[in-house]
Amino acid sequence: MHKYQHACIPVTKTALPPIQKYIHYIEGIWERGQLTNNGPLVRELEGELQSYLGVRHCLLVGSGTQALQIAIKALQLKGEIITTPFSFVATSSAIAWEGCQPIFADIDPRSLCINPAKIEALITPSTSAILATHIYGIPCEVQQIQEIADKHRLKVIYDGAHAFGVSYKKRPLLIAGDVSTLSFHATKLFYTGEGGAVICNDDELAAKMKRMRDFGINGPEAFFDEVGINAKMSEFHAALGLCVLPTVGQAIARRQYICSQYDHHLANCGLTRPLIPPETNYNYAYYPVLFNNEASLKKAQKALNNNNIFPRRYFYPLLNRLPYVNSSELPVAEDVAGRVLCLPLYAELESNDVEYISDLIKQSIASK
């Protein structure tokens, strides 16, 4: 095993665009004097994203959490929303923040997404929607979920924070459901620093969400049509997004290469990987591995941390353990959360870094 040369390897690292490119957009903001309020860069980025993602409406907002909140509010959801316990906290906190109750369905042991077979038994007269996460960018079983929703007259929201650019069965994954949401946080494949988007194919719903992100204003005379919040994206964030978007294809290709290197070095050492369904055009947003047990995970994590390598336990603990929700027993999700670890993955990660990380993991597994 070669000597490690770097000071620190985090789980992810933002690949910043050339600063001169960003300055070019900033100079335009200075010339126009418009910093926010649906400025020209926000409108330009929305159009570029609609084209890139293959969606009808992509409305930029201030964060992925705000995107979830607006989706829930715009669909007028009440009561219970069936969701996954294996996701980032915003998936559940947005439900609770909007006065609804998250009801947790267990996950599929292969894809780690919500298990459609566990949803129907949880539906009650109080259920208004299903909110599922394309975890690690792996597609949910969208057809099965939609069939359940149609049968019980439920709305469907997809948290697509990890699923930027993913297609499934030759269709953009983000067109599934009533609304999909995106996060453009700095850790994401495509980012604007802070930011997010709501995506839908319904013109009326899109107009409603557009008003909701801007205080509920309808028209130039500032007539307040309905309750709204301030969830607008600024011109500065949109400028960063316009710098980053042309490089996304290159970033995905680099991540795919790094993942293939992990696959090679970690083959036949006892680790398993979530199953990406056939006919998925994946974005390689994360590299999660599953250990045989939590003790083995902790041992490997300690070995990596001791060498200034910092993977993350995405996602642990489970959301059904949050203090403001009703806890429930979910054996598959509990098992997975105890064994899954996301390894470092970003454009600047070198092949020798991947080999070193893999060697440390294999060494920890082999040692008694």
Does residue 8 lie in a domain region?
no
User: 180: which strand partners?
Assistant: 158, 199
Within this chain, do residues 162 and 34 fall inside the same structural domain, yes or no? yes
For residue 221, the model assigns a pLDDT of 65
For residue 223, the model assigns a pLDDT of 72
Contacts of residue 19, defined as CB under 8 A and 6 or more positions apart, other chains included, come to: none
For the CA atoms of 37, 164, 180, 153, the dihedral, rounded to the nearest 10 degrees, stands at: 170
- Averaged over successive runs of 10 residues, the pLDDT of the chain (368 residues) comes to 68 96 98 96 98 98 98 98 98 97 98 98 98 98 98 98 97 98 97 98 96 87 80 98 97 97 96 97 98 98 97 96 91 98 96 97 92
118: left (phi over 0), alpha (psi -120 to 50) or beta: alpha
For residue 32, the model assigns a pLDDT of 96
Q: Which of 203, 220, 246 marks a domain boundary? A: 246
The span from the CA of 65 to the CA of 184, in Å, is 10
Within this chain, do residues 348 and 235 fall inside the same structural domain, yes or no? no
Does residue 7 lie in a domain region?
no
Within this chain, do residues 76 and 27 fall inside the same structural domain, yes or no? yes
The domain that holds 355 is classified in CATH as 3.90.1150.10
Query: Considering only CA atoms, which of 144, 142, 215 is closest in space to residue 174?
Result: 142
Within this chain, do residues 53 and 34 fall inside the same structural domain, yes or no? yes
Number of domains observed in the structure of the chain = 2
Neighbours of 97 (CB within 10 A): 15
Within this chain, do residues 261 and 241 fall inside the same structural domain, yes or no? no
Cα angle value 133/138/139 (rounded, 5°): 70
pTM of the model: 0.96
Does residue 9 lie in a domain region?
no
For residue 7, the model assigns a pLDDT of 73
For residue 1, the model assigns a pLDDT of 45
User: 172: which strand partners?
Assistant: 167
Within this chain, do residues 153 and 281 fall inside the same structural domain, yes or no? no
Does residue 346 lie in a domain region?
yes
Within this chain, do residues 231 and 312 fall inside the same structural domain, yes or no? no
